[in-house]
Structure formats: structure tokens, C-alpha cells
Amino acid sequence: GAGVSQTPSNKVTEKGKYVELRCDPISGHTALYWYRQSLGQGPEFLIYFQGTGAADDSGLPNDRFFAVRPEGSVSTLKIQRTERGDSAVYLCASSSRDRGTLHFGNGTRLTVT
């Protein structure tokens, strides 16, 4: 079956612009996660959804970052007033139940110029 799908695969934007990154989890997976991977680093936790609600958003770096999952399936990570330091690969993962094995997508590579 299809894995976790993330679009776009690459996004180049100018400093100060707004971006949206989309994640389509594996069908039927109730838990969804966003991680950020900077160059040469491991992924860092951003936010965790169980169903439609954000169960833990403690990893979001500041209030420029926001994520939604309105129908409990597709999720969108939104970044306002982008900064060069936001450049990274944004990874989405889903699991079939709370605390199950995480299945990662291939990420969106965001470059802020």
C-alpha cells in the first residue's frame, strides 16, 4: 500500500514569506507526527496529533509554526514569516495507534533564501 506522502518534495521561498507543507499519512493511521531534520543532524520532534487534536506541540520552536489536522487524516504544517534558520527537511510520520511504529515520509526540503 501507499506510504506517507509529503508535498511538495522541495520548496524554495524568500525570507519573510509564508509556506504550507502537506502530509498524507498511511490510510487508517490515527497518530501523526512532524519532525524537522537540519543538515547533519537527526530528526527533532515538533508536534504529535492523535486524531484531529494536537496532543503535544511542545517541539514547535516558536509561534511562527502551526500545524493542523482538521479531519484526522491530512495534516498541514504552516510557517509564517520564514527565516533562513527554518531551512531544513520537514519529515512527517504516522502510526496505526498511539505509540506504534512510526512510518516516515521522504520529507519536504525547505530552503529559505
Residues that bind other proteins (CB under 8 A): 4, 31, 33, 35, 40-45, 48, 56, 59, 91, 93, 95, 98-99, 101-107, 109
E-strand ranges in the chain read 5-7, 10-13, 19-24, 31-37, 44-50, 53-56, 65-68, 75-79, 88-95, 103-104, 108-112
CB of 105 to other proteins, least distance (A): 5
The least CB distance from residue 57 to other proteins, in Å, is 11
For the CB of residue 94, give the shortest distance to other proteins in the complex, in Å.
Answer: 11
